[in-house]
Chains A and B, each alone.
Chain A
């Protein structure tokens, strides 16, 4: 795996935690979310589409699409003034554009449901949902309600939280 551009971000863990995270990385578990697409770009998707993780898990977003660039961008007012669809305790997170072969690491700490999208492909409903922790965890915040800020296609693409928790990971129709 080529890591041409890689950065480590901590969302919801506070500045102190963010500064300490690189030393803790070797012991942290890593989950990979691939950005994928068909050869001619007819279909694009995150794999997995839905993922349950423990707080502090390293999420590695990797662009496996040879002909396209992608982002993983949390729905948050700090990201292009979008309505928040991640827990209030979490900071906005965004991988930025990743070219083929590139990857970025993100660490999510805030318990609850984190919905995110790919900037150039949101119109094609390239979105994903990460569930951090479990209901009942301190600070847990469930899924954001439907709003006009996201399309019906996007809402339909997001897997139910209970299904993600039950199965751990969910692949989309294209994955």
Chain B
């Protein structure tokens, strides 16, 4: 009887196509549908210093998750972008997906805006291994 809940949970995860919790499908770029490469859709560099090569499911904008890959296509961080005014006005970004359940560190900092998320916002960056921040730096 105790197995049933576990099986149900496993089945529901398997039925979700490449969602943020389907880690195996996201470990290497490109992550596949529904994610698109940000630089293909917006006038931004393919590799953004500090963030790497970003993929996002457009339906999750503006918060993300944005999946951040290094130059070798390895998933290195999950990034969220939360407009400050939205937060101040009561918007909550709950239940967001994550690229990997392994998180070695986190950075949160202000960003004045860029194509795609033009309102001033916070970047919340979850690094997935000890060397990730260095690999995304440039």
Residues of A within 8 A of B (CB): 37, 39-44, 66-69, 97, 99-100, 120-121, 123-124, 126
Contacts and interface: CB of A to CB of B under 8 A. Distances in A.
B118 to A, nearest CB: 5
Interface in B23-64: 43-45, 48-51
A121 B123 contact: no
A69 B50 contact: no
Interface of B: 43-45, 48-51, 109-115, 118-120, 123, 138
Given A41-B114, A126-B112, 16 more contacts: A39-B50, A41-B112, A42-B110, A42-B111, A44-B112, A66-B45, A67-B45, A67-B48, A67-B50, A68-B44, A69-B43, A120-B115, A121-B112, A123-B118, A123-B119, A124-B112
Nearest to A66: B49
A123 B120 contact: yes
A124 B120 contact: yes
Contact of A40 (B43, B109, B115, B118): B109
Query: What DSSP secondary structure best describes chain B's contact surface?
Result: loop
Contacts of B43: 69, 97, 99
Contact of A99 (B45, B112, B118, B120): B45
A40 B50 CA distance: 7
Contacts of A69: 43-45, 114-115
B61 to A, nearest CB: 14
B113 A124 contact: yes
Minimum-distance CB pairs A-B, first 6:
A97-B43, A124-B112, A41-B111, A69-B43, A120-B115, A67-B48
Contacts of B110: 40, 42
B52 to A, nearest CB: 11
Nearest to B47: A67
Contacts of B113: 41, 44, 120-121, 123-124
A69 B114 CA distance: 7
Given A99-B43, A123-B113, A67 B51 contact: yes
A67 B49 contact: yes
A151 to B, nearest CB: 12
A89 B50 CA distance: 44
Contacts of A123: 113, 118-120
Contacts of A66: 45, 49, 138
